[in-house]
Amino acid sequence: MGSSENMRATDQLEIDFLGFIFHADSPRNLTDEKLLSTTTKAEKVLVTRDMAAEKLIALAKRNAIQWLQLHGNESVENCIEYKSLGFKLIKNIAIGNASDFDKAMCFQEIVDFLLFDTFSQRGGGSGQQFDWKWLKNYSGKTKFFLSGGISPEHAKVISALHYPALAGIDLNSRFEINPGHKNIANLKQFLDELHYNMPA
């Protein structure tokens, strides 16, 4: 999120999570913590990539954040440590080919959610889409969020995806006016269409 006004408008759309990116290589990197103190209905999530554990824990605790979204090479042991401290975890799995879902299996019953995003050297945020037919290769029980290149015209397609472990979607670059600043009209239209097309 890039501004308090835009964050509040996004929060009014009855979404479940708001992500706050703390990673220097991201165009959405937050350089201060002021937004994290704003009260929201949605759960606030710290989105990071290979941040030192001590720094991440301190940042989260300082701002009373429960959710961490990990986009780097964080290990199972790292995740177990964060869970032991009471954090809830979303672990990104970068998908570059149909076999990459195997990488998710070691995190089963350790993280709260997985996030399947398109592989990029930046660790996410490429705005590109992997082949969603590959989702059939995921055999785990831990629920996942779908990410990567999702745009406003995908509402009907996503509503037709029938994977028991699919828990939600991650909307980012293609719903932005500029990095970190959400296009509220596009978000609302997409969510309305998604709910309209969902089976009763």
**Chain CA centroid to CA 83, Å:** 18
H or E, element range at 186: helix 184-197
Distances (CA, A) of 57 to 21, 61, 75, 103: 15, 6, 16, 25
Q: What percent of the chain has pLDDT over 90?
A: 74
- How confident is the model over 54-71, as pLDDT tens digits? 999 999 999 999 999 999
Q: What percent of the chain has pLDDT over 70?
A: 94
Task: Identify the bridge partners of residue 113 per DSSP, sorted by sequence position.
Answer: 90
pLDDT of residue 200: 47
CA angle 98, 92, 155 (to 5 degrees): 75
Identity at 34, one-letter amino acid code: K
Domain tally, the chain:
1
Count of beta carbons in the 10 Å neighbourhood of residue 88: 16
- How confident is the model over 126-172, as pLDDT tens digits? 678 999 999 999 999 999 999 998 998 999 999 999 999 999 999 98
108: CATH: 3.20.20.70
Rg of the chain in Å (alpha carbons): 16
Q: What is the DSSP letter of 170?
A: -
Give the three-class secondary structure for 184. helix
Whether this model's pTM surpasses 0.75: yes
- How confident is the model over 102-117, as pLDDT tens digits? 999 999 999 999 999 9
Evaluate whether 78 touches 64 at the Cβ level (below 8 Å): no
Of residues 179 and 86, the one with the higher pLDDT is 86
- How confident is the model over 11-66, as pLDDT tens digits? 999 899 999 999 988 888 887 788 888 889 999 999 999 999 999 999 999 999 99
Among 20, 18, 42, residue whose Cα is nearest residue 30: 20
- Residue written as tokens 């929201």? 40
Provide the residue range defining the domain that includes 169: 4-197
